[in-house]
Amino acid sequence: MTTRLPQGHRYHRDVVVDLEARWFLGGVEIPGRVVLAPMAGVSVQAFRRQGRRYGAGLVCSEMVSVAGIQHGNERTLGYLRVASDEHPLAIQIFGSDPEAMAEAARRVEAAGADIVDINFGCPVRKVTKTGAGASLLDDPVHAARIVAAVVRAVDLPVSVKMRRGTANGSRDCLVVGPALVEAGAASLTLHPRSARQMYTGFADHSLTAELVSLVAVPVVASGDVTSAARAQEVLSQTGAEAVMIGRAAQGNPWVIREIRGMSGEPSPEEVVAELLLFMRESVRELGERRASGFLKKFYAWYLGRGRFPRAFRQELVLLQSVEEVERRLLAAAPGAAELLEKLERLDGPLDEVVLDSLPISIYGGG
């Protein structure tokens, strides 16, 4: 028997959470409790479309620089491309100036996103030194001012992704979170590590449970959710509305299916077919030159986990072109070609929202 969990409840071992249950983020219906995280250098359109195909209820863009939008940076504006099969989609923005964030949110709305997400969690120095990302957890008043400005600027629901605080052991999220909800945030995502921790140690989801008990909006639990058992435990322990999957899904869309209760390790042919489709989509989106470098980390992610020998993965990284990598993969798993054709038919033609104000070269893989 599956049970809908009351907000703020505590963990009960015999409760099974229905991960296919629909929920609402503001007025947006989310068809499932698995959310694919926004990840810099990873969450391109190809990654998001794949995530939706494997059953993620919500997918998110990588964080988009407000300064880049202001200055018309072509690569930044390329992050605002939206395909019809990505919905529901959140586009995440980061910055520290309320009015600039509001204007960026308007651009996100015009691009066709369903949700504007604000990044108050990035721990990387080049972001925090500008007063953005996790550094805003040290200034709840200013953080709330940013959220209020964005909420006023758009008709879309506004969500916020944050960490527990900047310092180890911080509980600042329990102060900042309610303030952001009061400012108009329709949902909060908590990754209960500190900014100082980066991705070391463990995510303390007892803090997620405390946040759930303090706010009347959906909370998404992020951090260390890598299996169906862990997803069930986190949802049961915290009363969160959904779980967010990040690093576990890098080159591994099958983890989304597994967390949703559909077990089964992919065959080598299935792995290669998915990788080849991802490669082709990345070239279309980024262009051959950018995609060639971007994809190298994905070869290890897809082909690791004991699926292919290390020497084979290292060989692919040394090849000069995406076309060479594709030929080598098909030689290693000839049966992937037929599966790839089926995947491409399943994906169908790409239907994107194209803004008149964006450079046309973005839409040719520029």
Residue that has been written with the tokens 């250098």 in this structure? 41
User: With contact defined as beta carbons under 8 Å apart, do 166 and 134 qualify?
Assistant: yes
The amino acid at 322: V
Phi-psi region of 8 (alpha: psi -120 to 50; beta: other; left: phi over 0): left
Q: How far apart are CA 356 and CA 91, in angstroms?
A: 19
User: Could you give phi then psi for residue 17, rounded to 5 degrees?
Assistant: -90, 135
**Contacts by 122-131, CB closer than 8 A, 24 or more apart:** 122/40, 122/63, 122/94, 123/163, 123/166, 123/194, 123/195, 123/196, 123/197, 123/198, 124/40, 127/94, 128/166, 128/195, 130/67, 130/95, 130/96, 131/96
User: Could you give phi then psi for residue 57, rounded to 5 degrees?
Assistant: -70, -30
What token pair was written down for 316?
């692919």
List the one residue out of 41, 57, 182, 184 whose CA is nearest residue 122.
Answer: 41
Q: How far apart are CA 139 and CA 101, in angstroms?
A: 16
CA atoms within 13 A on the CB side of 284: 14
| Residue 53, SS3 per DSSP | helix
Q: 193: which DSSP letter?
A: E
Q: How far apart are CA 155 and CA 35, in angstroms?
A: 22
Alpha helices in the chain (DSSP H): 45-53, 66-70, 74-78, 98-111, 125-128, 140-153, 173-182, 205-214, 228-238, 254-259, 268-286, 288-294, 296-303, 310-318, 322-332, 336-347
Kindly list the catalytic residues.
122
Longest CA–CA span in the chain (Å) reads 58
